[in-house]
Amino acid sequence: MKACYPGTFDPITNGHLDIIERAASMFDELVVLIMENPRKKCLFSTEQRKRMIEQSVKASNVSVVIGSGLTVYFAKSIGCQAMVRGIRAVSDYEYELQQATANLTLDETVETLFFIARPEYSFLSSSVVKEIAMNGGEISGLVPDEILAEVQTGMKRL
Residues 6+ apart with CB under 8 A from 16: 5, 7, 9, 86
The residues of the shown chain that bind ligand ADP, judged by CB under 6 A, are 7-9, 13, 15-16, 19, 85-86, 88, 92, 117, 121, 124-126
Q: How far apart are CA 78 and CA 70, in angstroms?
A: 13
Q: How far is the CB of 117 from ligand ADP (least distance, A)?
A: 3
Counting every residue, how long is the chain?
Answer: 158
Pick the catalytic residue from 22, 51, 76, 88. Answer: 88
Catalytic, 2? Answer no
Q: How far is the CB of 105 from ligand ADP (least distance, A)?
A: 19
- Residue 9 or 44 with smaller CB distance to ligand ADP: 9
Q: Nearest CA to 158 among 142, 128, 134, 129?
A: 134
Q: How far is the CB of 142 from ligand ADP (least distance, A)?
A: 9
- Residue 71 or 155 with smaller CB distance to ligand ADP: 71
Catalytic, 88? Answer yes
- Residue 29 or 92 with smaller CB distance to ligand ADP: 92
Q: Which residues of 118-150 are buried (b: 16+ CB within 10 A; e: fewer)?
A: eeebeebbbeebbeebeeeeebeebbbebbeeb
Residues taking part in catalysis: 16, 40, 88, 126
